[in-house]
Amino acid sequence: MDARVKAARVSIFSNTALVLGKLIIGYGIHSVSVMSEAIHSGLDLVAAFIAYFSVRVASKPADAEHQYGHGKVENISGTLEALLIFLAAIWIIYEAGKRLLAGSHPVRGALTGVAVMAGASLVNYMVSNFLFRVARTTESIALEADAWHLRTDVYTSVGVLLGLLALEVTGYYWLDPLMALVVAAMIIKAAYSLSREAFLPLLDVSLPEEEERIIKEIIARHADAYVEFHKLRTRKAGRERQIDLHLVVPRYQHIDYVHDLCEHISDEIKASLPHTDILIHAEPCTSVRDCPVCNDCPEKEKRPSGAK
């Protein structure tokens, strides 16, 4: 089974347990901040299901209908997850604002809520670390989005925990809905970052500058075998990279040599940037008289007399 699918299952199981625990405790102690965390975890659970199904689809090989593979399913998944986080933040703001305007109800058993938030933070931290590790290894945007969901949950749970502690010490019950608003603000910030990372590849933006630098450095290693390269284009779909470029080779060079050169360049790029599909269009140099690479080509002497 694909490592991405296994990791997504772990996220589903952990989020299910957290949603149930937070709902039960939040309802029991009448804490809007704990209930807001339960809603947040509920959307994390929905996001975990979306990630699970998206990585299953993305792991399928290319077919006749999807000749470039199914990688963009992960980007769609990440975008949907970001939208879900925005919805969670809006709901939390509404509930907290209503509680602040109406006057806060006393929170009963704040220390119980503190214990629940502490446990939830620990679980989410461990699971998010696991998801980040798998996401980096497999270059999965869907798992990375899911991991950020849980890591955000860690921060917000700690915030709620501190709010409940302050409430227990000071007796100011408005601290509970106020902390819920802080949670909402943190959620919105995370949602914005996730939406950019997931959505932009759907517009076929180029690979990061660092990755394009690696590509150019690898091509430059073979500079003595070609004249120049141009029209380098890159994009990413999920974890799959697509690269194409034009490679100008000496006019007299044998086709077998050109083919091997393109294969060497492709293999080196794939070794440095896994999950890459490369198309190199080789074209002959047109500046024969002024081109030292063409003039120094050993195959030139083998050309028939009078051949261009």
Q: Domain of 103: which CATH number?
A: 1.20.1510.10
In a domain, 48, yes or no: yes
Instruction: Please check whether residue 231 is in contact with residue 246, taking contact to mean a CB–CB distance below 8 angstroms.
Output: yes
Clarify whether residues 254 and 133 are in a common domain: no
Q: What is the pLDDT of residues 191-208, one digit of tens each?
A: 787 777 777 777 777 888
Domain count along the chain: 2
How many beta carbons lie within 10 A of that of residue 86, not counting itself? 17
Clarify whether residues 152 and 179 are in a common domain: yes
Containing structural domain, residue 243: 209-284
Distances (CA, A) of 238 to 47, 60, 143, 218: 16, 12, 10, 23
Check pLDDT > 60 for residue 302.
no
pLDDT at 268: 94
Mean of pLDDT over the chain: 78
pLDDT band at 39; cut points 50, 70, 90: confident
In a domain, 255, yes or no: yes
Token pair 């995370």 is found at 190
Check pLDDT > 90 for residue 215.
yes
pLDDT band at 219; cut points 50, 70, 90: very high
The Cβ-side half-sphere exposure at 129, using a 13 Å CA radius, reads 6
Clarify whether residues 128 and 244 are in a common domain: no
Clarify whether residues 173 and 128 are in a common domain: yes
In a domain, 293, yes or no: no
Q: What is the pLDDT of residues 1-14, one digit of tens each?
A: 578 888 888 888 88
Instruction: Please check whether residue 234 is in contact with residue 211, taking contact to mean a CB–CB distance below 8 angstroms.
Output: yes
Contacts of 171 (CB under 8 A, 6+ apart): none
pLDDT at 288: 56
Clarify whether residues 54 and 177 are in a common domain: yes
Clarify whether residues 162 and 215 are in a common domain: no
Q: What is the pLDDT of residues 97-135, one digit of tens each?
A: 776 776 655 555 556 767 777 887 888 899 989 989 988
Check pLDDT > 50 for residue 220.
yes
Check pLDDT > 70 for residue 60.
yes
Is beta strand 276-284 parallel, antiparallel or unpaired with respect to 240-249? parallel
Last residue of a domain, one of 203, 238, 263: 203
Clarify whether residues 171 and 232 are in a common domain: no
Q: What percentage of the chain exceeds 90 in pLDDT?
A: 16
pLDDT at 294: 67
Clarify whether residues 183 and 275 are in a common domain: no
pLDDT band at 306; cut points 50, 70, 90: very low
Last residue of a domain, one of 186, 203, 220: 203
Clarify whether residues 84 and 183 are in a common domain: yes
pLDDT at 305: 38
pLDDT band at 269; cut points 50, 70, 90: very high
Instruction: Please check whether residue 179 is in contact with residue 168, taking contact to mean a CB–CB distance below 8 angstroms.
Output: no
Clarify whether residues 109 and 228 are in a common domain: no
Check pLDDT > 60 for residue 301.
no
**Lowest-confidence pick of 174-178, 259-263, 300-304:** 300-304
How much is the pTM?
A: 0.60
Check pLDDT > 50 for residue 259.
yes
Distances (CA, A) of 111 to 95, 108, 117: 22, 9, 10
Check pLDDT > 90 for residue 272.
yes
CATH number for the domain that contains residue 251:
3.30.70.1350
In a domain, 82, yes or no: yes
pLDDT at 184: 78
Instruction: Decide which of 299 and 70 is more confident.
Output: 70
